[in-house]
Structure 1
Amino acid sequence: MHDDIILDILLRLPVKSLIRFKCVCKSWRTSIEDPNFIEHHYALSKSNVNRHKIFITGGVSDNMDNYFYSVDAPLQHDSVVSLLETPVPGINTLSRVSFISYSSNGIILIVFPYDLIILWNPATGESRKIPSPIPKKKKSERRQFPAVYGFGYVSSIDDYKIFRVGGKYNSHAHFEIELFSTKSNAWKLIGMFSPNNFCFEGGIVTIDGIVYMIEMADLSRNIDRSTILSFSLENEQFEYVLFPDQIQRFQDPILYVLGENLCLTRMHNLTSRDFEVWHMIKDGSMNNIWSKILTIPSMHCGRCLSPVCLMKIDGYIMLLKHKGDFEIYNSDGEQIEIVEVPGLQSSLFFNCIVPYVESLFSPKQRRI
Structure 2
Amino acid sequence: MIDDVFPGILLHLPVQSLLRFRAVCKSWRCIIDSPAFRKLHIHTNNCNKSEDAIFLHARFYNNGVQVQHNGRSLILKETAHFKDVEWPEYDLEEGASFYEPVKGLICVNYLDYRVPMAICNPFLGQFKIIPALAESDSCSYMITRRSAAVGFDGDEDYKVVQLLECEIDSGIHAHIYSSKTGAWKELVGDGGMLDDMEFCRKHSPMKSACKNGYFAHWCVYGRREGRYGLERYSLILSFNMRNEEFEIIDCGADYATTQYFSEGEHSFLRFDFHLSFENFVQIYKSSFEGEKLSWNPVMHVEVTSLETPPQWSNGCALFVVYNDVFVYDYRARKFIGITPRRNIRESKSRLSNEKFFEHRGSFVSPM
Q: Same fold (TM over 0.5)?
A: yes
**CA distance in 2 between partners of 1:184 and 1:302 (Å):** 40
Bigger proportion of residues as strand: 2
Question: Of 254, 257, 261, which residue of structure 1 is paired with 2:259?
Answer: 254
Identity of aligned residues (%): 17
**CA distance in 1 between partners of 2:264 and 2:54 (Å):** 13
Partner of 1:237: 245
Residue 130 of structure 1 deviates from its aligned partner by 0.6
**CA distance in 2 between partners of 1:217 and 1:269 (Å):** 26
**CA distance in 1 between partners of 2:20 and 2:5 (Å):** 19
Question: Superposition RMSD on alpha carbons, in Å?
Answer: 4.2
Partner of 1:151: 150
**CA distance in 2 between partners of 1:15 and 1:211 (Å):** 25
Q: Is the 8 A contact 2:75 2:126 kept in 1?
A: no
Partner of 2:312: none
CA deviation profile, 1:152-182 (whole Å, cap 9, x unmatched): 1112x96322111217553x42332111111
Higher relative contact order (CA 8 A, sep 6+): 1
Tell me which amino acid in the other structure corresponds to 1:115: V
Partner of 2:162: 164
Partner of 2:315: none
Question: Of 149, 170, 175, which residue of structure 1 is paired with 2:172?
Answer: 175
Within a 5 Å distance, the mapping from 1:351-366 to structure 2 comes to: 351-364=354-367
Partner of 1:212: 217
Within a 5 Å distance, the mapping from 1:54-73 to structure 2 comes to: 54-58=55-59, 68=66
State the TM-score, normalizing by the size of structure 2: 0.70
SS for the counterpart of 2:180 is coil
Question: Of 260, 271, 284, which residue of structure 2 is paired with 1:265?
Answer: 271
Q: Is the 8 A contact 2:63 2:84 kept in 1?
A: yes
**CA distance in 2 between partners of 1:325 and 1:289 (Å):** 33
**CA distance in 1 between partners of 2:322 and 2:230 (Å):** 35
**CA distance in 2 between partners of 1:287 and 1:362 (Å):** 38
**CA distance in 1 between partners of 2:14 and 2:137 (Å):** 45
Partner of 2:75: 85
State the TM-score, normalizing by the size of structure 1: 0.70
Q: Is the 8 A contact 1:303 1:322 kept in 2?
A: no
Partner of 1:17: 17
**CA distance in 2 between partners of 1:22 and 1:281 (Å):** 47
Unaligned runs of 5+ in 1: 72-79, 327-339
Whether 2:194 is the aligned partner of 1:193: answer yes
Partner of 1:105: 103
Partner of 1:95: 86
Counterparts in 2 of 1:287 and 1:51: CA distance versus 1, 3 Å: same
Residue 150 of structure 1 deviates from its aligned partner by 2.2
Question: Of 327, 330, 340, which residue of structure 2 is paired with 1:322?
Answer: 340
Counterparts in 2 of 1:142 and 1:230: CA distance versus 1, 3 Å: same
Residue 99 of structure 1 deviates from its aligned partner by 2.4
Tell me which amino acid in the other structure corresponds to 1:40: T
SS for the counterpart of 2:196 is coil
**CA distance in 2 between partners of 1:346 and 1:210 (Å):** 30
Question: Of 38, 42, 46, which residue of structure 2 is paired with 1:34?
Answer: 38
CA deviation profile, 1:118-173 (whole Å, cap 9, x unmatched): 111123222221101244x8889623311111221112x96322111217553x42
Tell me which amino acid in the other structure corresponds to 2:200: C
Residue 185 of structure 1 deviates from its aligned partner by 0.7
**CA distance in 1 between partners of 2:325 and 2:240 (Å):** 30
**CA distance in 1 between partners of 2:263 and 2:68 (Å):** 19
Counterparts in 2 of 1:271 and 1:229: CA distance versus 1, 3 Å: farther
**CA distance in 1 between partners of 2:336 and 2:353 (Å):** 16
Partner of 1:306: 325
Unaligned runs of 5+ in 2: 88-94, 307-319
Residue 203 of structure 1 deviates from its aligned partner by 3.6
Tell me which amino acid in the other structure corresponds to 2:143: Q
Partner of 2:280: 274
Tell me which amino acid in the other structure corresponds to 1:152: G
**CA distance in 2 between partners of 1:297 and 1:345 (Å):** 22
**CA distance in 1 between partners of 2:115 and 2:321 (Å):** 37
Residue 273 of structure 1 deviates from its aligned partner by 5.0
CA deviation profile, 1:9-57 (whole Å, cap 9, x unmatched): 32343323322434622344327743112332454xx22x221133444
SS for the counterpart of 1:116 is coil
